[in-house]
Amino acid sequence: MIYRSGQRVLVQGITGKQGTFWAQKMMETGTKVVAGVNPKRAGETHLGVPVYGTAVEATKSTPCDVSVIFVPPVLARDAIVDAIDAGIATVVVLTEHIPAQHVLEIHARAKRAGCRIVGPNTAGIVTPGEGFVGIMPGHNPNIFQPGHVGVISRSGSLGTLICLNLTRAKLGQSAFIGIGGDPMIGTTTRDALEALDRDDRTHAIAMVGEIGGTMEEAAAEYAAGMKKPIAAFIAGRSSPPDKKMGHAGAIVTGGKGGYASKREALERAGVKVVDTPHEIALALADVYA
């Protein structure tokens, strides 16, 4: 789930407006986009790479390590299953509002195939200095700079703000992992935390959580045994119970998934929980000092 230089990327939906724009930006930062998929334009060349009718056809000619999905909700299930069937190891699913029954099927098929799903409703993954996959502004040097702080976020906008603050603090990022804001996602906060814990380039971690679900509590269990320092911000502190927020997964019922529960679990694990996003960079700057 951490993008590495040289990994070959397939863009499903490459000829659409968003697919074209972001594929071009990915390529400008060094991301190795090797092919695209659009069943209606198979056989063409777009942005200098071949376009195929399916991911299965694409990988027969061009091996791919990562696929990114620029496909609308009604067609997303078929596109993701196509990528899984093609044997692609990581599928970055940007699409939101995919029907729940389709999401369940996707995760089951991915698990059987040993495929890593990032998302749905993710903003993508970024490794400054190497490339990015998705719709994060990985091409903007004011936001992303190579460094040693790994960033985990459900939210693309909050993740962008954290990365901006880290860059301004001259800390930079080793990797950004956008796990996605849907209720059923393929990569959890704990999964991302474990990946960054194993990553030699990551010396500290910034975690951006939200109310809803229990991912942060599960991550806290793992964080308790880590040596790398972690600073976290939990969005939704003032949200009333049972209030649905911007992400489909950010809904709290009773005491479970609430702000107090998440903060208590993280602080008990030794995580520095801050009150505003700006304080994450300050907290981690103290560690480096």
- Better pLDDT: 289 or 92: 92
Strands 45-46 and 32-37, how do they pair? unpaired
- Give the active site residues: 247
Q: Domain 8-118 adopts which CATH fold?
A: Rossmann fold (3.40.50)
Closest Cα to residue 152, out of 186, 182, 191? Answer: 191
State the Cα–Cα distance between residues 166 and 58, nearest whole angstrom: 38
State the Cα–Cα distance between residues 173 and 143, nearest whole angstrom: 10
| C-alpha to C-alpha distances, 280 to 68, 141, 152, 171, 277, nearest whole angstrom | 29, 20, 12, 11, 6
215 confidence band (pLDDT: 50, 70, 90)? very high
252 confidence band (pLDDT: 50, 70, 90)? low
Percentage of the chain exceeding pLDDT 90: 90
| Average pLDDT estimate for 38-66 | 98
Q: Residue 251: is its pLDDT beyond 80?
A: no
Is 65:34 a contact under the CB 8 Å cutoff? no
Q: Residue 50: is its pLDDT beyond 70?
A: yes
Backbone angles phi, psi at 255, to 5 degrees: -90, -15
Give tens-digit pLDDT for 71-122.
999 999 999 999 999 999 999 999 999 999 999 999 999 999 999 999 999 9
208 confidence band (pLDDT: 50, 70, 90)? very high
Q: Residue 124: is its pLDDT beyond 90?
A: yes
| Average pLDDT estimate for 235-240 | 79
257 confidence band (pLDDT: 50, 70, 90)? confident
What predicted TM-score, i.e. pTM, was given to this entire model?
Answer: 0.95
pLDDT of 241: 63
CATH 3.40.50.261 fits 140-288, yes or no: yes
Q: Do domains 8-118 and 140-288 have the same CATH topology?
A: yes
Is 28:85 a contact under the CB 8 Å cutoff? no
> Where along the chain do its domains lie?
8-118, 140-288
